[in-house]
Amino acid sequence: MINRICLLITLVLLTACTYPEDLNDPPVDLGNFRLEHNIVVAPLAETSTAISRSVTEEQLTTALRDAIAARFDRYEGSKRYHLGVSIEGYILARAGVPVVAAPKSAMIIRVTVWDDAQAKKLNVPPEQMTILENIDGESLIGTGWTQSAEKQLEGLARNAAKSIENFLLRENEEKGWFKDDGTQSGVIAEETDTGLLRDVQSEASQTDG
């Protein structure tokens, strides 16, 4: 567990990323993709209170689930797919020395994609991603000074959803994940949502410390 936090700290110090506000633009081409189940869990999400503000597990999962829905509910493909996301760790930066050592916010997630028609995972093991806050005037000063924990989390969640979209785009281009193969999506059983939740939670509990 501590290894995750150390990795986050190292990556936050070395790198940062920014994504455009593109939700009003036409979505990228993901073939016949349609998001059905949007499962987000955070049973083992850890942070260091020495450098990070704390939020509840419910705040973590709700923020990311809402951001995923905002990005992927735009897709109206002919086949259903499911996303299972586990939040492994996070940092919501506290106030620090502006510009010189302004702490940055970050999150580690693991993503699994299910094909409903084939009733199988498309990626094993889950794809691990490190999500960083945007580079802008506020981050140079330090978002610990300029934003609430909730606002920091909202920004990370938006960037996480965009990173997931980029991952799906890459896999579709390289492996044809969402191309129309002539098969039809199966009928989703009532227990599917519960089963996916149980599966994602199980994967999260098996994460190496």
Q: What pLDDT, in 10s, does the model give residues 41-50?
A: 998 887 777 7
Burial class (CB in 10 A: 0-12, 13-18, 19+), 86: buried
First-to-last CA distance in the chain? 4
Instruction: Compute the C-alpha angle 30/61/1, nearest 5°.
Output: 105
pLDDT higher than threshold 70 for residue 72: yes
User: How much is the average pLDDT of 103-126?
Assistant: 91
The confidence band for 193, taking pLDDT boundaries of 50, 70 and 90, is low
Question: Which of 17, 5, 40, 14 minimizes the C-alpha distance to 135?
Answer: 17
pLDDT higher than threshold 80 for residue 154: yes
For residues 130 and 29, what is the distance between their CA atoms, to the nearest angstrom? Answer: 24
Name the pTM for this structure.
0.79
The confidence band for 94, taking pLDDT boundaries of 50, 70 and 90, is confident
Report pLDDT for 196. 67
pLDDT higher than threshold 80 for residue 92: yes
The confidence band for 99, taking pLDDT boundaries of 50, 70 and 90, is very low
More confident residue, 185 or 124: 124
Question: Which of 48, 62, 131, 59 minimizes the C-alpha distance to 94?
Answer: 48
At 193, list the tokens: 């949502």
Evaluate whether 150 touches 67 at the Cβ level (below 8 Å).
Answer: no
More confident residue, 135 or 163: 163
Report pLDDT for 137. 44
Report pLDDT for 117. 87
CA distances from 204 to 32, 41, 83, 103, 128 (A): 28, 8, 14, 27, 11
User: How much is the average pLDDT of 1-21?
Assistant: 50
